[in-house]
Chain A
Amino acid sequence: MRKFLKIIAILLITLLALFPFYILSLLAFTPSSMNFAKELILLPKGYIENFGAAWEKAKMGRSILNSLIITLGAVTVIVSFASMAGYAIARVKNKVNRLIFYLMLGCMMIPGIINTVPLYTLMIKIGGINTHWAMILVCAANALPFSVFLYTGFIRGLPLNIEEAAIIDGCTKIGSFWRIVFPILKPVTSAIIIINGLNIWNNYAQAVFFLQKQSMRTIPLAISMFYQQYGAKWHLMAAAAMIGLAPAVVIFIIFQKYFIKGITAGSVKG
């Protein structure tokens, strides 16, 4: 009986989580002429023209490419820089490293908005407005504190012996990091890829400032356009949202089995 109630509860909360996705598909697969106030539609109609229309109108191909470049670029920078920094902080216990670590931790609490205006003027000076590279660096910088924190926690829990063995076997010091330590970091790296990848894929607040040109628009900017510029075209917005969500959801499902492991290892035990 107890088990039965539990299954029912789990089923309910799962359905609750899926509800908006159901609404989204209802909208995306229904012609615009449908009026939910006049007609009761409970199942998607299998109407697919919204996707083509949304794809064309929002130049979704271009937006996906922009989002991909920025997300992949930033995640690469985050993983390589944060893992090295985490290693230095966990292994080399000196004042400078400790200071940098606490500085970064403190900055995790600062709302990004304090930086936005000066960052904007900085971006104009270095010619970073409407460029991929500047957006990559801004997103990476914002994500560094949390990533360094996770890496440091994880590396502290690793025994030194493996690296010692590698050095004895003639591995260089930097080599021992990339070839021996880095592969062991896989669970945290996966968690960092998921958390930051999703945040950057969904980034709106910075993108709205730094990517103003049409051709530089990322997915969230393209989707919000259907709401803000064209006055709530729900069917197109839903189709565009489904296109934009697909890559994020697929990546999440691929990496999710490492996700809990990474969170446990990096933060909970830290």
Chain B
Amino acid sequence: MFLRNKIVSKLHNFMILPAFILFFIFFIYPLIKGIGLSLTDYDGMTKANFIGLKNFVDFFHDSRAKNDVINTVLFALGSAPLLNIFGFLYALLLDSKFKGKSIARTIIYLPAVVSPLIMGYIWYFILQPQRGFLFSTLARLGLDLTNFNWLGNRYMALWVIIVVNVWQFVGMTMVVYLAGLQSIPEEMHEAGKIDGATYWQRIRYIVLPMMIQPIKINVTTNIIGSLSVFEIIMALTDGGPGYSTESLSIYIMRMCYGSSTGYSTAVAIILFLIILLPVLISLKLMKSKEYDV
């Protein structure tokens, strides 16, 4: 205990300072100012006037904002479960020993290395009607769908974006699950086999209970990520047709450029609350061992 006190000294208290100062100046200070701005009618140019909670009240009468909330939530409801299910299945598939294992893992992760903006552009090229790669190749093979416009259809476009998003980030989810799978000792599998458990029974009763931590990480990051979706939608549909794929972050960006700065920060705070709710619920549901700091 004596030595412990000697190592952990006052000096070590200061080791947190550089990170905290940087974080304070470039994150917390603007955050506090942003909260202040949300209570004003600031338009980016003229002086900001305090208007209380008017921006927040306006939000509830803003039909475009409502539409965007629905889009954003639908996107997350589609993306987050699909990412987790496929990420988990991919991880199970790649957990076994086979030749080229690490090459396969690297390749599956590769799409996540590319910026969603650029991936969005490439998928736009593939999926665009008439001249796109997919439909023109299908047409050559005798299947003429050239007039079929997935991205231009207000009922389908959002689902196409969800699929592209899942396709791009499934590798990321997979890696976290793989890490979890590899921390399960081999003996547990052996014990299950000896007791005569089938493959799926072993997954259900041995693997899943030990995966709570990775599930927690993946579910939280996927919820946060999909509720603040931005670049991939910009690249694929730019929010259209109409506003049928516009997400809340795109709306915030547009309002912010379009001289409704105060209002846009208010909407951003609402987006934060929308993110906070499912994250807190999912953390509560998956509560396992407590962190002790």
Contact = CB atoms under 8 A, between A and B. Distances in A.
A73 to B, nearest CB: 13
Interface string A245-270: 10011001100110110011001111
A108 B283 CA distance: 14
Interface string B225-255: 0001011000100000000000001001100
B231 A141 contact: no
B88 interface: no
A249 B107 CA distance: 10
B37 A117 contact: yes
B37 A118 contact: yes
B155 to A, nearest CB: 25
Contact of B15 (A36, A84, A256): A84
A141 B139 CA distance: 50
Contacts of A118: 29-31, 33-34, 37
A1 interface: no
B16 A89 contact: yes
B136 A36 contact: yes
B214 interface: yes
Contacts of B113: 198, 245, 248-249, 252
A241 B114 CA distance: 9
B206 interface: no
Contacts of B105: 256, 260
Interface residues of B, number: 98
Interface of A: 6-7, 9-10, 13-14, 16-18, 20-21, 23-24, 26-27, 35-37, 40, 77, 80-82, 84-85, 87-89, 91-94, 96-98, 100-104, 107-119, 121-122, 137-138, 140-142, 144-145, 148, 160, 163-164, 167-168, 173-174, 176-177, 198, 201-202, 204-205, 220, 223-224, 227, 234, 237-238, 241, 244-245, 248-249, 252-253, 256-257, 259-260, 263-264, 267-270
B109 interface: yes
Given A91-B12, A256-B105, A267-B179, 13 more contacts: A9-B93, A17-B171, A23-B126, A85-B16, A92-B13, A108-B224, A111-B249, A114-B269, A114-B272, A176-B7, A202-B118, A248-B114, A259-B175
B115 A204 contact: yes
A26 B125 CA distance: 12
Given A81-B18, A115-B34, A20 B268 contact: no
A111 B22 contact: no
B217 A117 contact: no
